[in-house]
Amino acid sequence: MEIASGLLHGFAVALQPGNVFWCFVGCLLGTIVGILPGLGPAATIALLLPLTFKMDPAGGIIMLAGIYYGAKYGGSTTSILLNIPGESSSVVTCLDGYQMARKGRAGAALGIAAIASFVAGTVGVIGLTLVAPPVAAFALSFSSPEYFALMCLGLALVVLLSGTSLLKGLLSLLLGLWLTSIGTDLFTAQSRFIFGQATLLGGIDFMVVAIGVFAIGEVMSSVEAGEEAKVLPVPRGFRNLLPNAEELKACRFAFLNGSITGFLVGCLPGGGATISSFIAYGIEKAVSKHPEQFGKGAPEGVAAPEGANNADTGGALVPLLTLGIPSGGSTAIMLSALVLWGVKPGPLMMQESPDVFWGLVASMYIGNVVLLILNLPLVPLFAQILRLPVYVLFPVIFGISIVGAYGASGRIFDLGLLVGFGLLGYAMSKLKYPSAPLILGFVLGDAMERALRQSLMMSQGDLMTLVQRPISAIMLSLALVILLIPLFGWFNRLRVRAITENG
């Protein structure tokens, strides 16, 4: 069979000592890049690009890819320990990961993140190996109506993220929608809500919002206790440093969910790891027998999004390698790299450059194993960060937040925004507004608006197109179902509460 022979050939290439070395280097760099906010995989790949000119293409792409998917492993570390997303797709991991750390299960959370990343990452590569062509065709069949329906499905998940007050969750979501529309409208070049600031023309950086609302907001809440502020409990004893059997068992479906969701959403050129991690989280919560645990430290709440953002890499490589279409910053640079090496990514790549193509695919299997081995032993090490006295940890959190917010754009203005969002995060937590819907709205709002306008432009104003197309109709119905069922429960609870309060 063509695939089997190709893969064997790939392993022959990937297992050459030089290439194994580059794989390891890439994975190590990727992990470091993922752990540190302010350093993104895209920027790192771009910086290392000139160095790779002297390398042979297979080794070069193996290393760059290692950085790309390695970063997804490391991104969960600060998310869990400090509530600071190390990477934009790790923001969902903060929701339950940090809560697990607060309950003393930091080690377990880190371990689950690593294991989920490994399982889903490997599934992603298997998908890339076996079903790349049909998945690529699926990705191409996705047009703007389908994207819109997907975003609606994602937004419908807000009802699952709102905790006790749906009203506040919705308001939080709307706030996120507003914040993401700040900037320049793609279709008309109309600037919206920029308050005369040229710096806002490009919109607000997601990391600034996420770090401000999550990390700074959390620090401010913790500081209320002053000198009695407690750090997170350090897991004691080897058994507590890694997930126990019960937690792993609970995550079985999450591993699968993360893998499939991440891979499928990842292969869409307009998709993204952040979107897929939100959807995986939402699906997990929707099918869970104890949804109220989510947001309070449910292990599945860590496994699903972490898996999704890793399977996403496999998915994103499908259009890149089979069609030459990048989906996102990192893959775009890898595309330039391939072009500069004379490898031509596109429909003919598999035939013309089997060394690079299959070598890369095979190296990803190896890379995922390397990363698991690299990350699991690091878990107890990282958990020790929690040993730092509170008066050292909190300044460090501020420092990391500043680096994270400043690193991407290099503008003091973004630090000012960080300060503002920190205050917003604190206010929201005092007033009991859930912050997850804000982030959800921010991530999805832009894409949803674009998809709707594109759909209407394509259909010349005909809204029916959204329900006439099968895939989009299915997803919209699902979104509706998700919105309605909990609503019955909510109305019921409101009714009951009103009765008991009045009675």
Partner 1 sequence: MLRAFLKKGDVISGAVLAALGVFIITQALAWDYYTLDGPGPGFFPFWYGVAMVVLSLLLVLNAARTDSDGDKAGVDWPATGRAMTVWLAFALSVGLMDFLGFLISFALLAFFLVAVIFRRPFTTAAVVAVMSALAFHLIFPVALSVSLPTGPFGF
Partner 2 sequence: MNRRELLVGTASALVAGAAGPAFAQFKPLRPIEFVVHGGPGSGNDVFARTLTTIIDQEKLLPVRMQVVNKPGGGSTSAAAYVVSKKNDPHVIACFTNIWLIDPMVQEAATNKLVDMSPIARLVVEPALVVVRADSQIKTLKEFIDAAKAKPGALKMSGGSITSRENTVRQLLMQLTGVRWAFISFPSGGERIAALLGGHVDLMIVDPSEAGEQVRAGKLRVIAQVNERRLPAFPDIPTIKEAGFDIPNVPQMRGVVGAPGMSTETIAFYEDLFLKASKTAGWQKFVNDSQLDGEFVKSAELKPFFAKFEGELREILKAAGAKVVR
Q: Which of 136, 219, 242, 273 binds partner 1 (CB under 8 A)?
A: 219
Cβ contact 161:488 at 8 Å:
no
Is 339 among the residues that bind partner 2 (CB under 8 A)? yes
Q: Minimal CA–CA distance to 26: which of 58, 71, 57, 85?
A: 71
Mutual angle of helices 470-502 and 144-156, in 10-degree steps: 20
The binder of 12, among partner 2, partner 1, none, by C-beta within 5 to 8 A per type, is: none
Q: Minimal CA–CA distance to 486: which of 283, 254, 286?
A: 286
What are the Cα distances from residue 413, in Å, to 7, 410, 420, 423? 49, 9, 11, 16
The binder of 130, among partner 1, partner 2, none, by C-beta within 5 to 8 A per type, is: none
x/- map, 428-457, partner 1, by CB under 8 A = --xxxx---------------x--xx--xx
Spatial separation of the C-alpha atoms in residues 190 and 196, rounded to whole Å: 13
CB of 224 to partner 1, least distance (A): 4
Cβ contact 276:265 at 8 Å:
yes
Identity of the amino acid at 352: E
Is 324 among the residues that bind partner 2 (CB under 8 A)? yes
CB of 270 to partner 1, least distance (A): 17
Q: Which of 132, 179, 323, 402 binds partner 2 (CB under 8 A)?
A: 323
Q: Which of 104, 233, 291, 329 binds partner 2 (CB under 8 A)?
A: 329
Q: Which of 3, 25, 55, 140 binds partner 2 (CB under 8 A)?
A: 140
The binder of 277, among partner 2, partner 1, none, by C-beta within 5 to 8 A per type, is: none
The binder of 483, among partner 1, partner 2, none, by C-beta within 5 to 8 A per type, is: none
Q: Which is nearer to partner 1, 185 or 292 (CB)?
A: 185
Size of interface with partner 1, in residues (CB under 8 A): 62
Q: Which of 287, 373, 396, 457 binds partner 2 (CB under 8 A)?
A: 457
- Find the binding residues for partner 1 in span 159-178 (CB under 8 A): 167-168, 170-171, 174-175, 177-178
CB of 436 to partner 2, least distance (A): 25
Q: Which of 22, 24, 341, 426 binds partner 1 (CB under 8 A)?
A: 426
Is 225 among the residues that bind partner 2 (CB under 8 A)? no
Q: Which is nearer to partner 2, 144 or 257 (CB)?
A: 144
Cβ contact 262:315 at 8 Å:
yes
Q: Minimal CA–CA distance to 330: which of 11, 10, 39, 15?
A: 39
Mutual angle of helices 273-287 and 300-323, in 10-degree steps: 140
Cβ contact 161:351 at 8 Å:
no
Instruction: Supply 370's token pair.
Output: 């390397």
- Helix, strand, coil proportions of the chain in percent (round to 5)? 80, 0, 20
Is 220 among the residues that bind partner 1 (CB under 8 A)? yes
Is 181 among the residues that bind partner 2 (CB under 8 A)? no
The binder of 443, among partner 1, partner 2, none, by C-beta within 5 to 8 A per type, is: none
Is 187 among the residues that bind partner 2 (CB under 8 A)? yes
x/- map, 41-80, partner 2, by CB under 8 A = -xx-xxx-xx--x---------------------------
List CB contacts of 428: < 8 A, sequence separation 6 or more.
172, 213, 217, 434, 435, 438
Q: What is the CA radius of gyration of the chain?
A: 22
Report which secondary-structure segment, H or E, holds 378.
Answer: helix 354-383
Residue with tokens 């503008």: 411
Size of interface with partner 2, in residues (CB under 8 A): 61
Is 2 among the residues that bind partner 1 (CB under 8 A)? no
Is 241 among the residues that bind partner 2 (CB under 8 A)? no
- Find the binding residues for partner 1 in span 284-323 (CB under 8 A): none
β-partners of residue 192 are 183
Phi then psi for 183, rounded to 5 degrees? 140, -150
Query: To the nearest 10°, the Cα dihedral for 347, 351, 353, 359?
Result: 100
Cβ contact 430:220 at 8 Å:
no
The binder of 201, among partner 1, partner 2, none, by C-beta within 5 to 8 A per type, is: partner 2
The binder of 1, among partner 2, partner 1, none, by C-beta within 5 to 8 A per type, is: none
Longest dimension (CA), the chain: 79
Q: Which of 134, 202, 377, 416 binds partner 1 (CB under 8 A)?
A: 416
Is 336 among the residues that bind partner 2 (CB under 8 A)? yes
Cβ contact 111:306 at 8 Å:
no
Spatial separation of the C-alpha atoms in residues 124 and 256, rounded to whole Å: 11
Is 215 among the residues that bind partner 1 (CB under 8 A)? no
Is 503 among the residues that bind partner 1 (CB under 8 A)? no
Residue 192 three-state SS: strand
Spatial separation of the C-alpha atoms in residues 193 and 420, rounded to whole Å: 16
Residues that bind partner 1 (CB under 8 A): 36, 38-39, 47, 167-168, 170-171, 174-175, 177-178, 181, 185, 187-188, 190, 192-193, 216, 219-221, 223-227, 229, 390-392, 394-396, 398-399, 402-403, 406-407, 410, 412, 415-416, 418-419, 422-423, 426-427, 430-433, 449, 452-453, 456-457, 461, 501
Residues that bind partner 2 (CB under 8 A): 42-43, 45-47, 49-50, 53, 139-144, 183-184, 186-191, 194, 196-202, 269-270, 319, 323-327, 329-330, 332-333, 336, 339-340, 342, 344-349, 408-411, 450, 454, 457-458, 460
